[in-house]
Amino acid sequence: MSAVHDMKAAPELAPDRDWWRGAVIYQVYPRSYQDSNGDGVGDLKGIIQRLPYIASLGVDAVWISPFFKSPMKDFGYDVSDYRDVDPLFGTLADFDALVEEAHRLGLRIIIDEVISHTADIHPWFRESRSSRDNPKADWYVWADARPDGTPPNNWLSIFGGSAWQWDTRRQQYYLHNFLAEQPDLNFHNREVQDALLDVTRFWLERGVDGFRLDTINFYFHSQGLEDNPALPPEERNDQTAPSVNPYNYQDHIFDKSRPENLAFLERFRALLDEYPAAAAVGEVGDSQRGLEVVAAYTAGDRRVQMCYAFDFLAPEKIGASKVRSVLETFGRVAIDGWSCWAFSNHDVVRPATRWAADEPDRLAYLKVISALLMSLRGSVCLYQGEELGLTEAELSYEDLQDPYGIRFWPEFKGRDGCRTPMVWDDGKANGGFSSVRPWLPVATEHLPLSVSRQQGNPDSLLEHYRRFLAFRREHPALVKGDIEFLGVDGDAIAFARTEGNERIICAFNLGSRPATIDIGGGKGVQPLAGSSGEVRDGKIAFQSYGTWFGRLD
């Protein structure tokens, strides 16, 4: 453990406006990272305690999920005060200390900005619902009932049922794309935009380096409130919502991904550009046109710097042909855009279960797909515990906290299984996360995967991540270079990354059987350290789950 705790301060961060391009961002879900005060819930001081570990991984930035004041109906994604820390997580002084320590260690801080909706106890909503003519009456999306008393249209909530909730005070419906306790803000109102930009400035002044913009494509709705058309069954997919959710039955062209959003994103970017090196990554939840939305939101240098869609977060197993299709499609529709790729986050089943459960060698498979992720053109998000290979925890119904899982149990078990506490030391109570019973139980099967077990073991997944992140940093082509696919053959895929005079060939066998792939000639290609394949007659021959990297001299 000494290698982590003895780390010296990194040089002061230079104001590099382009730092985000190719950055590796480590997501921390604060409730489950480290409990510092013995209440069973992780907090900001706990994150500070673990920042040396994060820095030791070799990542560039830390994305912290919401820690603002909240009634916690959706565990922080329902904000009641945008300018303060919920006492459960600490204080503003704790946050300032976190930013200072992160910067000392060479880490940038990205915070989760949840501005498409608020909590229903937010003062803005309390005023808005009080009458139809108060100063904030138009700050949320209100609509009259149809003549028969039903909601104004057929829009659905991601959490199930109608996206409209009747309010007895105003005798109107209000829009909520998520829980009924999460009313949607009305971005067509300029005052709402101004207020949210003021919130953004508040955190920039406190030293944050960027924002993860939750549900970025949900900001605007069609003011005509038209019904969404039905999707034919063959066009439905479960990228944005689980298959048991009727949300997937509609083509959501009127309730999200509206063209009006582009002008607001330009206002947002103009604010970011007032600061030395602030950046943003947006979450795009759109099952039908996600890559196109990412392309539009990141085009040029006047909107957000990067976004991610759900192409690799969906249940469908990653495969060589899909990787090529997604990357080439994005390259075609987003000539000057930038994506941030992720296999895991706080909303989806962990890939160690989602994809690796049936693999003969789970560890080898997780190593090869992680190397693939960190070799793609784009920035990268890693979710806490991904570097340990944590599986989706199996929880009983009695242990569930997530309203999404409670609503759709047992066909969909919600998001608690990927949110259980981080396991630091299998020799300590609750894996070293807390001295008391945690808010979600520590999965017994996670204890053998703890940091204490893996650290220093060269064959472990944790050390694989550290080695690969160091390798990636040594090669600018892997960070910011262009990508050119050389071929796909079954489970094998090969592409070239090029930046300046550096051209690196990257090849992967995602399968459990030996494979070969043609890289278009092998002359002049020098294998790099860590390659597990062999070049023969212009083809790379792999064993199972092989990776191969070579520099073209």
- φ/ψ (deg, to 5) at 63: -95, 120
Report how far apart, in Å, the C-alpha atoms of 213 and of each of 116, 268, 376, 414 are. Answer: 9, 11, 22, 22
What Rg do the C-alpha atoms of the chain give, in angstroms? 23
Cα–Cα distance measured from residue 274 to residue 14, given in angstroms and rounded to the nearest whole number: 16
The CA-based angle 151-154-156, given to 5 degrees, is 100
| Three-class SS state of 534 | strand
**Letter string b/e over residues 96-117, b meaning 16 or more CB atoms within 10 A of that residue's CB:** eebbebbbbbbbbbbbbbbbbb
277 contacts: CB under 8 Å, gap ≥ 6: 13, 15, 16, 17, 19, 209
Beta strands across the sheet bearing 534-536: 515-518, 539-542, 534-536
Cα–Cα distance measured from residue 136 to residue 125, given in angstroms and rounded to the nearest whole number: 8
Q: Quick one: which of 308, 312, 288 has its CA closest to 298? A: 308
Cα–Cα distance measured from residue 44 to residue 47, given in angstroms and rounded to the nearest whole number: 5
SS3 of the chain: helix, strand, coil, percent, to 5: 30, 20, 50
Report how far apart, in Å, the C-alpha atoms of 83 and of each of 187, 205, 255, 337, 354 are. Answer: 19, 12, 28, 31, 37
Give the catalytic positions in this structure: 214, 274
Report how far apart, in Å, the C-alpha atoms of 540 and of each of 243, 348, 472, 495, 497 are. Answer: 39, 34, 21, 12, 17
Cα–Cα distance measured from residue 286 to residue 301, given in angstroms and rounded to the nearest whole number: 23
